[in-house]
Amino acid sequence: MRQKQSQKATPHRALQTGIHNIMKDIIVFDIETKNTFADVGGQENIAKLEMSVTGLYSYNEDAYHCFDENELDKIEAYLKSAYLIIGFYSKKFDIPVLEKYFKSNIAKIAHFDILEEIEKRMGRRIGLGVLAEANLGEGKSAHGLQAIEFYRDGEIQKLKDYCVQDVRITKRIYDQIKEKKFLYIPQRNTTEMKKISFEDYIEIVPPPAQLL
């Protein structure tokens, strides 16, 4: 079934004005950057990276969106509407890049970082594309360096499509963790898969709706 597209979705409640009974959201997100670690002097300077676009999925809306650097207010509104955010390598990459753009402290939002949770259980990291192929039967449409090339070449729609595809993959992997309680992890130098358990994972309960 085709997912609802951003342009057809009802405006997110966090972006509306007036009095609304606001139910907090779960947001899956991913960012792309304009530059590389080499451009900013290494991974220790990650906060110096600049965002090009941010893709996200709202569970309340059942819709995907992608915003560029001129729409920071929309990105912040979605993140502030969340009681839980989901990402992949997002605590150590996406958040340090994004937080300089906002007045609110987005690092304080409850956060499930899929790669962090895999590393806790496996003792090593794995790429999102490899994880997607093992569990979803599909890979990434491009890679991070290509995304930077899309930006530098002015191919913004290609960049947004790539970013949203990563969000779709991240969302589907998270849904598998929540619903099936496991992921398959390819093993090095073999075709075998290791099944890692997420039986201990329970999604946090949303807070009561707020009257604004």
Interval 162-182 mean pLDDT: 97
DSSP three-state, residue 71: coil
DSSP three-state, residue 198: coil
pLDDT in tens, 24-53: 999 999 999 999 999 999 999 999 999 999
Highest mean pLDDT among 12-26, 52-66, 134-148, 196-210: 52-66
Q: Is residue 113 domain-resident?
A: yes
Tell me which residue range forms the domain holding 107. Answer: 23-200
Count CB atoms within 10 A of the CB of residue 142.
Answer: 18
Asked if the model's pLDDT at residue 112 lies above 80, the reply is yes
Token readout for 125 is: 């990291």
Asked if the model's pLDDT at residue 6 lies above 50, the reply is no
pLDDT in tens, 142-158: 666 889 999 999 999 99
Across 6-10, 59-63, 81-85, 108-112, least confident range? 6-10
Asked if the model's pLDDT at residue 199 lies above 50, the reply is yes
User: Which pLDDT does position 23 carry in this prediction?
Assistant: 67
Q: Is residue 207 domain-resident?
A: no
**Domain total for the chain?**
1
Torsion of CA 152, 157, 161, 166, to 10 degrees: 30
Q: Quote the pTM value.
A: 0.86
Q: 55-58 long-range CB contacts below 8 Å, 24 or more apart?
A: 55/29, 55/30, 55/31, 55/160, 55/163, 55/164, 55/166, 55/167, 56/27, 56/28, 56/29, 56/30, 56/167, 57/27, 57/28, 57/29, 57/167, 57/168, 57/171, 58/12, 58/25, 58/26, 58/27
pLDDT in tens, 90-111: 999 999 999 999 999 999 999 9
Q: Is residue 212 domain-resident?
A: no
Q: Is residue 7 domain-resident?
A: no
User: Which pLDDT does position 141 carry in this prediction?
Assistant: 63
Q: Is residue 186 domain-resident?
A: yes
Q: Is residue 13 domain-resident?
A: no
What percent of the chain has a predicted confidence (pLDDT) above 70? 85
User: Which pLDDT does position 4 carry in this prediction?
Assistant: 46
Q: Is residue 27 domain-resident?
A: yes
Q: Is residue 18 domain-resident?
A: no
d(CA 18, CA 12): 13
Q: What rounded mean pLDDT belongs to the chain? A: 88
Q: Is 133 exposed, middle or buried (0-12, 13-18, 19+ CB in 10 A)?
A: middle
Token readout for 28 is: 């899956």
pLDDT in tens, 114-133: 999 999 999 889 999 999 99
Q: Is 101 exposed, middle or buried (0-12, 13-18, 19+ CB in 10 A)?
A: middle
Report the CATH number that the domain containing residue 58 is assigned in CATH.
3.30.420.10
d(CA 103, CA 122): 36
